Structures are given as C-alpha cells and as structure tokens.
C-alpha cells in the first residue's frame, strides 16, 4: 500500500512540474521554480524509503526527505512574501538560506553523530518497508522551530496583506493560505491521521496545483511585463488593465496621475464603481467592443490632451482582458489645431511653392538620367522611350483596373521610369561602353547598377514629402531586372515578391532594348521582339501583364515606327 501511495504521488508531482516547465516564463519568480524542483526530489526520498531493505538505504531516503523539509517551507514563505509585495532585504534572504543549509547539513550526520538523531536503528519492518527507530537530538528541535517560524511568517504576512493591501489580489492571497496551512498541518499531524503514511507529499502535491493556479493568474497583474517595458521605462506612458469581466487588475503611476480615481479601486473588484471611470474609460471600451476601429480617444485634463489607446490584453495568443495605453498628445493636438486654423492660406501658399520645387526636382532627375544615358552605348532616347512605353502599358492596365492601381500610383510610376538606370553612373566606362558581349566578371559589375541605382534614388529623394513616389522610384531602379521565375538580379526575387512597378518597368525596358538600334546591334523586327516578350511571359515577366502588353502592342509598334 505504502509503495503504491508514494509512487503515485511522485508521478503526479513530476507531471505537475512538467506542466510548470511548459508554461514557464523568464519573469516567473525563481522561488516558484525551486518549489517545483524540490517537491519531486522530496517525493523521491519517500519512494526511496518505501523501497529500502536496509537501514543505510532508509537513511539515504530520509536525508532526501529532510532536504525538502528544510528548504520547501523557506521557499514557500519567500514566495508568499513576494506575492504579497513584502520585500525582505538581501541579507535576510541570504541568512535564512544559510540557516536552512546548516540545519540540513546536520541531518547528514544521522547514524554518525547524535546532533540530529541520538539514535537510528531498525525497529520493525512495516509492510516490507524498513521503519527506523529514532531518537531526536538538539538540531531536530531547531529544525522544528525553523519550520514553524517559516510557516507562521507566511500566514501572518498573508493575513496582513488580505486586510490592508489593495494593490495585491485578494484571490491570490486566498490561494496562498492553502499551501502554507496544509503543509504545516501535514508536517506536524500527518502521522497522527494515517499510521505509516506521511501526508506531507499530499500537501506538497496540492501546493503545486495551487501555485500553477497562481502563476496562471499573476501574469495579469504585471502591467509592466517585458512586452511593454519599452513603453513604461521613460515614465511617459500610462497603463491600466482590466480582465474580461471588467474587474480591475492594476495600473502604473502615470495612469494614476491622469485618472486619480483609480486609487479608489480594489484589485479584482468591478472597474465600474467610479462614475468618472464609467463616463470615460468604460464608455470608450463599450465603443471599442462595438467597433474595434474606435480604439483611440482624446481626454483633456489640466491643460493637457491625452491619447487613450484601447487594445486587448494577451497572454500568449489568448485574450485575458483589456488594456488602456495613455500618452501625452498635447503637442501633437495643438499642432493639428494650428494647422487646421491656417489650413486654407497655407495650402495655397505651399501648393504654389511645392509646384515650383517639384518641377525643379523633376528637371534635376531627368538631367541626371540623361547624363547617365550619354555614357551608355545606346543611340540615345532610351529614357524617353521607356517612359512612353510604361505610359502605354499603364493606360491599358487602367482600362479594366483589375490590378487595383490608382491614378496617383500610375502617375508616380510614369514619373519614376526615367530613373530606372541611374545606377549605371557608378559603372566604369570600359564596361558600360563596351560594344561586344560582357565577360562573366564584367556582367557581375554591370549587375551592380540595380542596387546602386536604388541607393542613388534613395539619397536623391530622401526627405521628400512624397513618400509613395520615393518608394516606387526606388523599387523601379532596384528591381527592374528581377525575373518572375526568380532568376533575375540583384535579389533573386520571384513572383509577387517583385513590386508591380518593377514588373511593368521590366517589360518596357526589355522591349525597348529589343526594337531599338544600338551601337553594337541593329533594331530587331517587331514580330521577333514580340515572340521573345511572349515567350518570356510567366518566366521573365509577370504572366498577369501579358494581356495588357498584347493590348498595347499596336500602339507600341506605331510609336517605334514613328521614332525611326
């Protein structure tokens, strides 16, 4: 009976430790980890005793059990202090661990020295298990006193916290009573209830279950966990958390300064007790739950304007409550107000000046592109022609608009087309102007113009207000040599990884290269060029653009005939 009893308890204890390891987070109190580690060790001691056949084996098991007896009450007490937000000085923690270690060391003298046991011999074998006849020494009394003090300290702190502290969850404190009181009762009364069987392992098992419940709940109360440390470390962001039942979980000091009513709340009590909070935070929460796009609200207090951002409180991927993030948005709101006040006059003035700057900027870009083209071995006009081809393709795309390209995107793409080869400015003349075929090494150098072009475009347009144009122009320069099947350069992108603007530019660039006369070649007949383009659909080019190219083909051929 005893063998099965202790074996089952060891197995259950070990499984609970596995569960704890599975849910473990690096911010869990280290004392929890120690408790979940030591309890199975202590149970191993009980199992060892029940399987022992000699006095020596029984004493080894006894020593293992006492290891748990010396340190588990200490770590249980420490965990109570920590959860009740009672800080012990480091020197006190160190001293208590040292005392437990000294007491445990005295247990190792059993059978050798009368310090802990004055005698230890086999008195009887109960159910096939060795029962040790003991005589208790001075250190055994010290052991009992130590354990009693640890348990009493935990109970006193729990009671004090339950009565006096609002910032600690009453539910957590109630749960803490269970392992402390059960462990103490089992420790001193276990043998009185069941002859030959210890109740301490059962108390330990219940303690593990309770601590699993505590760690599952305590995560909700830590409003400054690692996911929001970067927000709270500057002391400029307020945080308020409530659970899914709208019970208050906690807040930080910044939130208290904005909503002093939070100080009147009790953890785990209804969040709606304060009328002020009902009319602000809870009202906004109702709006958020009805429409999650309504997650931001402004709140004015003492001449400041605060932005309240509402979102879900998650534990992993599991929704556990709601969180209000509070930031001082005064400067931004005043700026918006000022902008709105002078909006009409400023818009007209800015539009006029912007038009002049844009025209000057565009001329500068075209001038740079022309300068690059003058170094190339083409016959000239490549920039103008590819821009016109892009416009023809875009015109066809816009007719059915299945690609969803808006007018502003199309305008920016046409405007960006002349910039696609700016990177050639960084390629040596000996390579750029070579009339014949490139060697492998020369081609690798030539390929760098794509990434170099993206860098140049980025520098030219850095700081521009037209972010969309900046992105499109940079993508056109960077990716117009990528291929649909991933065999292009410089990144080897494939399929829709290639931006749509670069895919369109690729068709225009290759088509012009085929049908235009160069220093090193004659222009290619339209039918032959068309065959190459069509053969490249789905390999070199986006197959989805084929129908637009086909639709634009008559205009393209007419355009190039007129250009001859």
Q: Alpha-carbon distance 541 to 528, whole Å?
A: 17
CATH number for position 402: 1.10.3210.10
Same domain, 448 and 329: no
Same domain, 421 and 559: yes
Asked if residue 351 is part of any domain, the answer here is: no
Same domain, 165 and 259: no
- Low-confidence residues of the chain: pLDDT under 50: 224, 226-227, 379
Task: Give the list of residues 6+ apart from residue 20 with CB closer than 8 angstroms, or none.
Answer: 32, 33, 36, 208, 211, 212, 215
Same domain, 293 and 240: yes
Segments forming the whole domain that contains residue 379: 368-563
Tens digits of per-residue pLDDT, 198-220? Answer: 788 888 888 888 888 887 776 55
Residue at which a domain ends, from 200, 218, 236: 218
Same domain, 207 and 315: no
Same domain, 329 and 382: no
Tens digits of per-residue pLDDT, 348-392? Answer: 676 676 666 566 666 666 666 666 666 565 545 787 888 899 999
Asked if residue 506 is part of any domain, the answer here is: yes
Helix locations, 376-419, DSSP H = 382-400, 407-416
pLDDT at 542: 93
Q: Is omega for the bond preceding 490 within 30 degrees of 0, making it cis?
A: yes
Question: What mean pLDDT, rounded, does the chain reach?
Answer: 83
Same domain, 270 and 405: no
Same domain, 262 and 324: yes
Q: Contact at 8 Å (CB) between 461 and 473?
A: yes
Same domain, 16 and 56: yes
Same domain, 313 and 166: no
By residue count, the chain amounts to: 564
Same domain, 67 and 155: yes
Integer CA distances (angstroms), 452 to 177, 260, 351, 418, in order: 68, 57, 32, 15
Residue at which a domain ends, from 188, 218, 248: 218
pLDDT at 224: 47
Asked if residue 359 is part of any domain, the answer here is: no
3-state SS, residue 247: strand
pLDDT at 315: 72
3-state SS, residue 380: coil
3-state SS, residue 298: strand
**How many domains would you assign to the chain?**
3
Integer CA distances (angstroms), 388 to 193, 382, 415, 418, 559, in order: 96, 10, 10, 10, 9
Residue at which a domain ends, from 302, 321, 340: 340
Q: Tokens for 219?
A: 């995560």
Nearest Cα to Cα of residue 538 among 478, 479, 483, 475: 483
Nearest Cα to Cα of residue 69 among 200, 185, 198: 200
Q: Alpha-carbon distance 147 to 70, whole Å?
A: 7
- pTM metric for this prediction: 0.45
Same domain, 131 and 188: yes
pLDDT at 361: 62
């Amino acid at each position: 009976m005893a063998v099965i009893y202790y074996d089952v308890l060891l197995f259950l204890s070990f499984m609970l430790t596995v569960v704890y390891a599975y849910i473990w987070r690096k911010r869990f109190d280290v004392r929890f980890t120690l408790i979940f580690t030591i309890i199975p060790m202590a149970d191993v001691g009980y199992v060892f005793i029940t399987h022992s056949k000699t006095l020596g084996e029984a004493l080894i098991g006894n020593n293992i059990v006492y290891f748990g007896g010396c340190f588990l009450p200490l770590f249980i007490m420490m965990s109570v202090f920590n959860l009740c937000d009672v800080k012990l000085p480091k020197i006190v923690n160190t001293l208590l661990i040292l005392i437990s270690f000294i007491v445990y060391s005295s247990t190792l003298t059993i059978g050798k020295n009368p310090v802990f046991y004055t005698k230890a011999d086999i008195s009887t074998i109960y159910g096939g298990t060795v029962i040790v006849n003991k005589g208790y020494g001075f250190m055994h009394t010290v052991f009992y006193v130590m354990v009693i003090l640890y348990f009493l300290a935990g109970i006193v702190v729990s009671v004090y916290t339950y009565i006096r502290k609002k910032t600690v969850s009453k539910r957590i404190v109630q749960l803490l009573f269970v392992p402390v009181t059960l462990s103490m009762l089992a420790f001193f009364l276990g043998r009185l209830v069941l002859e030959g069987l210890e109740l301490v392992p059962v108390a330990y098992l219940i303690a593990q279950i309770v601590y699993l419940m505590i760690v599952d709940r305590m995560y909700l109360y830590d409003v400054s966990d690692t996911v929001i440390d970067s927000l709270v470390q500057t002391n400029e962001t307020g945080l308020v958390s409530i659970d899914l039942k709208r019970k208050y979980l906690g807040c930080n000091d910044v939130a208290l300064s904005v909503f002093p009513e939070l100080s009147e709340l009790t953890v785990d009590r209804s969040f709606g007790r304060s009328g002020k909070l009902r009319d602000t935070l809870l009202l906004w929460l109702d709006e958020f739950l009805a429409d999650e796009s309504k997650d931001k609200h402004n709140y004015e207090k003492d001449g400041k304007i605060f932005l309240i951002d509402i979102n879900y409180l998650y534990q992993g991927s599991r929704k556990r409550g709601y969180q209000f993030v509070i930031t001082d948005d005064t400067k931004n709101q005043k700026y918006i107000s000022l902008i709105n006040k002078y909006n009409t006059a400023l818009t007209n003035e800015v539009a006029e000046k912007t038009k002049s700057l844009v025209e000057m900027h565009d001329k500068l870009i075209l001038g740079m592109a022309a300068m690059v083209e003058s170094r190339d071995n083409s016959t000239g006009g490549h920039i103008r022609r590819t821009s016109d081809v892009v416009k023809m393709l875009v015109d066809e795309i816009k007719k059915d608009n299945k690609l969803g390209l808006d007018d502003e995107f199309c305008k920016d793409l046409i405007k960006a087309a002349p910039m696609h080869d700016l990177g050639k400015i960084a390629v040596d003349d000996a390579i750029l102007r070579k009339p014949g075929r490139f060697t492998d090494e020369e081609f690798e150098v030539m390929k760098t113009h794509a990434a170099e072009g993206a860098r140049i475009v980025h520098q030219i347009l850095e700081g521009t207000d037209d972010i969309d144009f900046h992105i499109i122009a940079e993508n056109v320069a960077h990716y117009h040599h990528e291929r649909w099947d991933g065999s292009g350069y410089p990144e080897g992108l494939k399929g829709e990884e290639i931006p749509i603007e670069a895919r369109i530019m690729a068709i225009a660039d290759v088509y012009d290269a085929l049908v235009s006369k160069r220093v090193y070649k004659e222009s290619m007949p339209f039918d032959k060029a068309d065959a190459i383009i069509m053969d490249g659909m789905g390999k070199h080019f986006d197959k989805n653009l084929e129908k637009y190219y086909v639709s634009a083909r008559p205009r393209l051929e007419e355009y190039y005939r007129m250009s001859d």
